[in-house]
Amino acid sequence: MDIAALNDIALRMVTPGKGLLAADESFGTIGKRFDSINTENTEDNRRDWREMLFRTTRAMEDHVSGVILFDETLRQNAKDGTPLRKLIEDAGAIPGIKVDQGITPLAGRAGENITQGLDGLRERLAEYYELGARFAKWRAVIEISHPEQYVARTPTIGGIKANTHALGRYAALCQEAGIVPIVEPEVLMGGHHSIERCHEVTETTLNSLFTELYEQGVKLEGIILKPNMVVAGKKCFDQASVTEVAERTIKVLKDTVPAAVPGIAFLSGGQDNEIATEHLDMMNKIGGFPWKLTYSYGRALQQSTLFAWQGKAENYDAAQAAFNHRAHMNGLASLGQWSASQDAKAA
């Protein structure tokens, strides 16, 4: 493991003004997105969609530092035969790969899940390195139960530890292979929970994560953290202000994340496009932390682009313009330079 090389890649991933494009949707997930625009979920359509994103030169060159890919995409060629990963590299971005294999129920823990994919991971990472991937992603899912479900109140400490232990083992294997691990412990935002409960669970999860990373011998200079923001559940009646979300998220990170971590790339977690941008911008406007704070967005970067594309070649230019716009706005947010008026004006 060359920690200097890993640190160099990690720093490139959080280059000021840039962030990560999460284009690692599974067949099922991208199928649901294609359903929303009445487009068939075929290999050719998946290729055309992602090729359109990766050829969006202004967004890719100016505001995307790396792209998280699904296994199929890392191996796929564009229509003209150019490997899709080469389109990413030609734009100055780094190809990455999703390596987890989804979630399954955690034995003995009703309502909790564990992420699969550790078996055979060493061999898969070696192959992915040869294919050009220089970072990887593993997502752990932490779900907060309904406040009235006291019998099966989740998450449990045991459930959190099981997931963070898997993240630690994954990260160690990545670094052994010369690949920067994105560690993603996502506290889901779909429930009824308050922002105070999200704060508590996120803090507990991150404390457990960094204990596991230390115990697994992971070098923090060679990782990227991909956490949730501290927000109330979508079904909660009381939704916090943008400022409170930013302040609570910064506090949790300051209380749990060592300064050795090069950067933090937030997931959007199902937030509306502009809200995800506004929350990131507010954190960077507040400042006062040792890490670079940027984005690792999927839907929050792609949704407006997908609706502009509609699966039709004649909408190519409109879709690229939509992607350029959202990438530019999030690039500004990663610098604390975004504004709602600028977003509306540039749309």
Residue 151 has a pLDDT of 52
Write down the pLDDT at residue 146.
75
Q: Which of 18, 226, 274, 278 is catalytic?
A: 226
With a cut of 50, list the residues of the chain below it in pLDDT: none
Q: What pTM does this model have? A: 0.95
Q: Is 254 a catalytic residue?
A: no
Does residue 247 have an active-site annotation?
Answer: no
The per-residue pLDDT for range 174-184, each reduced to its tens digit, is: 999 999 999 99
> pLDDT tens across 176-213, in order?
999 999 999 999 999 999 999 999 999 999 999 999 99
pLDDT attached to residue 344: 86
Residue 203 near residue 244, CB atoms below 8 Å: no
Choose, from 112, 184, 274, 278, the residue flagged as catalytic: 184
Beta strand ranges found along 11-110 (DSSP E):
19-23, 64-69, 94-98, 103-105
* 310-329 per-position pLDDT tens digit: 999 999 999 999 999 999 99
State in words which class domain 3-346 has.
Answer: alpha beta
Structure tokens, 72: 């199929």
Joined tokens for residue 262:
């090069």
Concatenated DSSP letters of 37-50: TT----HHHHHHHH
Q: Specify the pLDDT at position 333.
A: 98
| E strands present in the chain | 19-23, 64-69, 94-98, 103-105, 113-115, 135-142, 180-187, 224-225, 263-266, 292-297
